[in-house]
Amino acid sequence: MVTLDKIFSLCKRRGFIFPSSEIYGGFGGVYDFGPLGVEMKNNIKRLWWDEMIKFHENIVGIDAAILMSPKIWEASGHLTAGFADELVECKNCHKRFRGDEVKDLKCPECGGEITKSRKFNLMMKTFVGPVEDKSTLTYLRAETCQGIYVNFNNVLSSMRMKIPFGIAQIGKAFRNEINPKDFIFRTREFEQMEMQWFCHPKNADNFFDFWRDERIKWYYSLGIKKDEIRFKEVDSSERAHYAKRQVDIEYKFPFGWKEIEGIHNRGDWDLSNHSKHSRQDLMYFDQKTREKYFPYVIETSVGVERSLFAFLCAAYQEIKGGRTKTTKSSKDVEILLKLDKKISPFKVAILPLVKNKPGLTKIAKEIYQKLKLNFMVIYDEVGTIGRRYRRQDEIGTPYAITCDFETLKDNTVTIRDRDTMEQKRININEVNEEINKLLK
Ligand code: ATP
C-alpha cells in the first residue's frame, strides 16, 4: 500500500526530491527537486502548457515577474484579512497550528491547551532597493494570476484578443504557511500553473462547468483513475475571498482526500479592483455589440508539486516477489512506478547484458549516444540485468533496450516493456523509430 513515508523515501533515494538545505538540518516547508524530479516537473509543466496553449483555442501565455508593486496586493485583497489563516499556539509545547487543524481546542501533538486564534497573513515580505523601510517593502507573489490581471490591457492590445479568451502562466508562488506538512503537499515555496479565462458575465456559469470538466479529463488522460479523483463544491464559508463559486479537484492521497486544483469564478473582483486602485480603465469594449463591461474570470489553478505528488501516488505499486529475477521470496517486494510515459523522467534505459564484454558495451553506448539526441535516455551497466530492470521499474522508465550476445551476431537488441515485461527483438537500425512509435 502506498504511504507518505514510502513515497518520501523513494523520492529521496532515487533523486526525485530532497529536503531543502539538508546539510544544515533542513529548512521548513521547502524542497529541492533532484535530477529525476526536475525532469518529471518539466514534463508536467510542458503537458499543461500544451494542453492550454496548443489544444485549446484562444489562450496565450505570459511570464510575469515574481516581484511586483505592493499596490497590487492591496488592490487584490491579499494584504487585508482576505489572505490570512487563523493561527493558534499550544500553551504547553508551543507548536503552532492553523485554526482548522485543531479539534476540541486541544493541541493535536501533546493535548495541551491552545491559545485564542489570531489572523496571520501568509504573504512573504521582502525589500527591494538598498534601504529597508516601508517605502521599499514588497511581497513575494502568493499567486501567479495577479501578474495576468495587471497585464490584461497589454495582452489585449498587443495580441488583439477578443473575448472569450485565456491567459496562461506557470511560475513560483510563496506562502508563509503556518504548518507546512505532508511532504510536498503544503510547502512555503511552490509552483502554480494558472489559466485565467476572460468572458462575458452572462457566460461565466457555462464556462465554469466547461473548464471544470476539461481539467479533470487532463488527470484521467495522464493515468489518474476515476475513483482516485473527485470534485468538491466549496461552500461560501470556505471559499477564497475573491470567489463567487469554487470547485476543488481533490485527489485521494494516503493522508486523505485533498485539493490539488481549484476552479474559481472570480467574477470581476480582480479587474474592477485593479481599475479602481490604478485608475486605469480595465474594462473590455465589444466592437460588435458596443457594450463595455468588466469581464468575469474563470480561473483554473493547480500546484505543480501537488499534481506531481498525486501522479507519484497513483503510479506507485508494490509487487510481491518474483517479478524480476532479483526477488524470489514472496516476502520481498518490488516497486513499480507505473507513471504515464509522458510524465516519466526517463523514456528509455540502455543496458548491456554484461559489462565486461567490450563489444557489447560499445554497441550499447553507441545506441545511447544516438537516442540521447531525441529522448531522455539513461545508460546503466552496473549489477545484474535483473537488478537493473528493477531499478528502472522503480523510477518509472517505460522501456529498456538490452544488448546481449545475439546482438554481436545479428545486430538485434531487445526492447522490454515496463508494465508487461514483454520483450521483443528488433534490429538496431530500427530502435529510434520503434521508440518514437511506442512513446506516441
Ligand atoms: P489550501 O486550501 O490547501 O491551502 P488553497 O485553496 O489556498 O489551498 P489556492 O489558493 O486555490 O489553494 O491555490 C491553487 C493551487 O495551488 C492549489 O490547488 C494547490 O495545488 C496549490 N497550492 C496552494 N498552496 C500551496 C502550498 N502551500 N503548497 C503547495 N501547493 C499549494
Q: Locate cell 504573504: which residue?
A: 123
DSSP 429: G
pLDDT at 152 (0 to 100): 98
Total Cβ atoms within 10 A of residue 236: 9
Q: Which atom number of ligand 1 is nearest to the Cα of residue 259?
A: 18
Name which of 49-58, 83-92, 311-320, 417-426 the model is least confident about. 83-92
Distance of CA 179 to the CA centre of its chain: 20
This prediction has a pTM of 0.95
Q: Which atom of ligand 1 is nearest to the CA of 240?
A: 6
**Mean pLDDT, to the nearest integer, of 394-417?**
97
Atom number of ligand 1 nearest to Cα 194: 14
Locate the ligand 1 atom nearest the alpha carbon of residue 175 and give its number.
Answer: 27
Question: Does 49 have pLDDT greater than 90?
Answer: yes
Ligand 1 centroid to residue 303 C-alpha, Å: 6
Q: Among 83, 186, 191, 298, say which to mutate for ligand 1: greatest number of ligand atoms within 8 Å of CB.
A: 186
Candidate of 124, 241, 306 to mutate for ligand 1, largest count of ligand atoms within 8 Å of Cβ: 306
pLDDT in tens, 18-40: 999 999 999 999 999 999 999 99
Domain boundaries 4-67+140-312, CATH class: alpha beta
Expressed in angstroms and rounded, the spacing between residue 375 Cα and the centre of ligand 1 is 33
- Range from 55-59, 84-88, 207-211, 217-221 carrying the lowest mean pLDDT: 84-88
Confidence band (pLDDT; 50, 70, 90) for 331?
Answer: confident
Q: 392 is written with which cell numbers?
A: 528502472
| Domain ranges in the chain with CATH number 3.40.50.800 | 346-438
> By three-state DSSP, how is residue 319 classified?
strand
Rounded Cα distance between 380 and 375, Å, is 16
pLDDT at 323 (0 to 100): 82
The three cell numbers of residue 198 are 476572460
| Ligand 1 atom index nearest CA of 303 | 20
Mapped onto helix, strand or coil, the DSSP state of residue 401 is strand
Cell of 64: 510575469
At residue 218, does pLDDT exceed 90?
Answer: yes
Outline which parts of the chain fall under CATH 3.30.930.10: 4-67+140-312
Sequence letter at residue 327: T
3-state SS string for 141-198: CCCCCHHHHCCHHHHHHHHCCCCCEEEEEEEEEECCCCCCCCCCCCCCEEEEEEEEEE
Q: How confident is the model at residue 265 (pLDDT cuts 50, 70, 90)?
A: very high
User: In the predicted model, is pLDDT for residue 375 greater than 90?
Assistant: yes
Question: What is the best residue among 76, 301, 304, 311 to mutate for testing ligand 1's pocket, by most ligand atoms within 8 Å of CB?
Answer: 301
Residue 328, pLDDT score: 74
Superfamily of domain 346-438: Anticodon-binding domain (3.40.50.800)
Q: Above 90 in pLDDT, residue 271? A: yes
Angle between helices 304-315 and 4-13 (to 10 degrees): 100
Q: Whose CA is nearest to atom 16 of ligand 1?
A: 303
